[in-house]
Structure 1
C-alpha cells in the first residue's frame, strides 16, 4: 500500500516531466556574413599550412620555435587558463547528476542522578545518507553546461592563437637578428672602405693632387659610417633579449646563433579560399564558439524563468551501540517545486541581457572573420609589392655601383671633383643597407601570411597531451 501511495504521489510529477520542452538555441544561418569567393592575388588551392617555419629549411629556427612552444610564458599562461576553463565546464556539468552526502555522528554522555545513585553512560551512534537531484525539466542545467563547455573549447582556441603568435614572433626575432648581423658586417666593411679612401685622399693631398676640402669630406664620410654601427649593435642586444623572453629565459642569457645570412624566400604557400579561414584560424574558431556559448546562455536564462523540481531522499541509522547501529533506521523521500512569482523583472532582464551579449558576440565573430580575410589580403599584397620593391632596389644598387666606378675614374683622371665620388659612394652604401632591411621586410611579410592563413599544427603541441583527459567534449558550431 505504501509503495502504491508513493507511485501515486510521483505520478503527477512524471506527467509534468513528459510535457516539458527543453530550451535550446535557434540555429543561426550564415553567422559569419558574406565572404569573397576567392583571394585577389593567390590561386584557388586547398590551404595546407603546417609547421610553416620548417619551410625555411633551417634547423636552428625550428629548434627555437619548438623550444618556445614548450617554455613561452604567454603560452604557459594560456594552458593554465585552459585548465581553469575545463575545470569550470566539469563543475558546471556536475549539476546534471545526483548528489550524495554522508554524515556520521557519535555522542557520549555521562550522567550522575541528583539522588546520589551511581553515574551511568549514554552513547548514541548515527549514520546518515542524503541524496538530492534537480530534474532538468526545461534544459537549464544542460544549457548552462553547454555554454561553459563551449567557452572551454573557445579557450583552447585562444591557446592555439597564442601558439601561432609565439611561433611568428620567434621567427621574426630570428630574422631580425640575422639582418642586424648582416648590417653589422656591411657597415664594418663600409667603414673600412671609407678609411681606405681617406688614406688615398690624404696621400693625394700630400702630393698636391687633391684639396683639403676633399680630405675633410672623406673624414666626414668615415665618421658617418662609424655612427651607424652603435645603433645596430644595440638593436642586436635588444633583439636577443626579446628572443630570450619568447623562449622563457632571462635577458642576457646566451643564445648561440650560426653566422649565416638571411635565408632565401620559401616557395609561396597555397592560400586556399577565404571560407577556409573559418576552420583554420584559431581566433575565428574561438569567436564562433563564444557565439554558440552565448546562444546557450540565452536558453539557460529562458529556462530559469520557469519552475524547478527537486527530489530529495534521506536515510538514517541509529543505535546505542555500534553492534545495534543498523537495527534502528528511518528514511524520507520528498519532492519540491519552486517557481518565480514576483522578482521585479530580474529574470526577464537577464534574458534580455544574455540576448544582447549573444548579439555582441555575433558582430564580434563577423568582425574577426573580416579581419582574418583582410590580414591575408594585406600579407599577400605586401609580399607582392615588397618583392617588386626589392628587385627595384637591386637594380638601383647595380646602377649606383656603375655610377661610382665612373665617378672615381673621372676623379682620378682629374675630370671632376671628389664631391661627385663621395656622393656616388654614399648612395651605394645607403642602398646596400636599404636592400638588407627591405629583404628582411619581405621575409616578414611571408611570416605574416603564414600566420594569417592559420593551420592545425597548434592542436598537436606536446603539452596538449596533458589536456586530453580534462577537456570536455567539443561542440562544433
Structure 2
C-alpha cells in the first residue's frame, strides 16, 4: 500500500513540476521594428485642398451606372478572386489545425477476438471470446510555447491571406476601372477617326473638283487621297485594340469574349476629387498588401520561436480507461486504467533541429526585407500617382488650349485654300495638326482619369486594417 502511494506521489509531483515549468519558461516571438524612414508628410499633396475620405466603393465617384455594374460583375465572377478566397479558406483550416493542438486528444478503441488454444495445465483445447473497449487521452504540456507559437504562426498566415485577398480585390477593381476608361478613350478616338475620315473624303472631293476646274494640280489631289487612306488605315487598328480591350474586360468578369456595355463617354466622365491622404504613416494600416506583408513577418517570428522550442524536451501526459470481458475469466468484466507521462529530450539528430532554427531565421529575415520593401514601394507609388495626377491635369489644360488654337487655324487655312490664298499643303498640315491634337486631348483625358484610379489604389482604396480584422474575427466565432 505504501509503495502504491509512493508511485502516485511521484507521478503527481512530476506533473506539478511540469506545469510549473510551463508557466515559467516560454519562447516568445518578437517582431523587429522597421529600419526604413517613414516620411512625415507627402511632398505633392496639399492636405487643406483635399478633405474627402477614401470610400471603399470609390469607383462609384465616376457616376457611371454601367461601370458600377461591370465592377459588381467582376467582383462576383473573377477567377483570381475565387483563388484568393480558396487560399483564405485553406489558411483558416490550417489555423484550426494548429489551434486544435492546444487541447487534449481523446480516442476510443475496441477489440474483439474469438480464439481456440491448448490449455497448458490440462492439455485440452480451450475456446473463448474476449472484448476490450478502451478510452485513451493524451496531452502535451506546452512548456516552451512551441504549440502556442505554431498556432500564432498559422493565425498570422491566415490573416495575411485575408489581407492578400483584399489586395487582389483592390488590384482587380482598379484594373477593371482603368481598362474601362481606356476602352471609352479608344471609342472616342475611333469616333474621331471616323469623323476625320469624312473630312478627308470631303477634302479629296474638293481637290478633284479644283483639279478638274484647273484651279489646282494633280499633286494636291494625290496628297488629299494619301491623307484619306492614312486616316482609313487607322480605323481597323483602333477596332482591333478596342476588341482586345473588350476581351480583357470579359476575362476580368469571368466571361467569354464578347461586346461590353458602354456608359458615359470619356468627355462625360469626371475625375473624382483627390482624397484626403492623411500622414504617410497612416498608409501602413490602409493598404492590404502592407498588412499582408506585416502578418507574414509576424508569422515568421512565431515560426522561429517554435523552431527554437523544438530543441528542448517535450512532456506528454497519457491516460486510459477501459474494461475487458472474456469468457475465460470468471465474474463481471474487469476495469482497466492507466495514468502516466513521458519526456522526450532531443540528444542527437545530426544538427537537424538547429538547421530548422537557422532556416526559420533566414525566412524571418526574408519576411522583414519584403515588408520593408513593400512599405518603401507604397510610399513611392503614392508620390508617383500624386505627380501623375498633377502632371496629366496640367498637360490636359495645355492640350485643350492647343486644340482650340488649331481648330481656329484649320478653319482659317481651309477658307484660305478655298479662296485660293493658301496652298493645299497648308490646309493639309492644319488638318493633320488638329487631328493629332484632338487625339492627344482624348488620351490625356483618359490618362487623367486613370491616374486618379491608380492614386486610389495606391492609398488602399478605403481599406482599413481594423475593418478587415473585425471581419476575420467574426469568421472565427
CA RMSD after TM alignment: 2.7
Instruction: Tell me the distance in 2 between the aligned counterparts of 1:125 and 1:424.
Output: 104
Could you tell me which of 401, 418, 421 is aligned with 1:415? Answer: 421
Aligned to 1:54: 60
Give the structure 1 partner of residue 265 of structure 2. 260
- Asked whether the 8 Å contact 2:315–2:342 carries over to 1, the reply is yes
Q: Pairwise mapping of residues 72-471 of structure 1 onto structure 2 (< 5 A)?
A: 72-109=78-115, 122-252=128-258, 254-258=259-263, 260-262=265-267, 263-320=269-326, 327-457=333-463, 471=476
**Which one is further off, 312-321 or 293-302?**
312-321
Closer/same/farther in 2, CA of residues 336 and 461 from structure 1, 3 Å limit = closer
Alpha-carbon shift at residue 60 of structure 1 (Å): 1.3
Structure-1 separation of matches of 2:220 and 2:85: 64
Task: Give the conservation status (yes or no) of the 8 Å contact 1:126–1:325.
Answer: no
Cα pair distance change 1:325/1:261, threshold 3 Å:
farther
Measured in 2, the distance between the counterparts of 1:346 and 1:460 equals: 40
Q: Give the match for residue 23 of structure 1.
A: 27
1:425 shift after superposition: 0.6
For the 8 Å contact 1:49–1:450, the answer to whether it is kept is: no
C-alpha distance 342-325 of structure 1, shift in aligned 2 (>3 A):
farther
Q: 1:41 aligns with which of 31, 40, 44?
A: 44
Structure 2 CA distance for aligned equivalents of residues 194 and 442 of structure 1: 30
| Distance of 1:35 and 1:125 partners within structure 2 | 71
- Shift in Å at residue 457 of structure 1? 4.7
**Offset of residue 104 of structure 1:** 1.6
Change beyond 3 A, Cα 1:409–1:248: same
| Structure 2 residue ranges without an equivalent (≥5) | none
CA–CA distance in structure 1, aligned partners of residues 348 and 298 of structure 2: 30
Gaps of 5+ in 1: 473-477
1:475 aligns with none
Shift of 1:317: 1.4
Deviates more, 1:137-146 or 1:353-362: 353-362
Distance in 1 between residues matched to 2:60 and 2:464, nearest whole Å: 14
Give the distance between the partners of 2:6 and 2:65, measured in 1 at CA.
77
- Scaled by the length of structure 2, the TM-score of the pair is 0.91
Q: How far 1:460 sits from its partner (Å)? A: 11
The TM-score with structure 1 as length reference comes to: 0.91
Displacement of 1:385: 0.8
Per-residue deviation at 1:437? 1.3
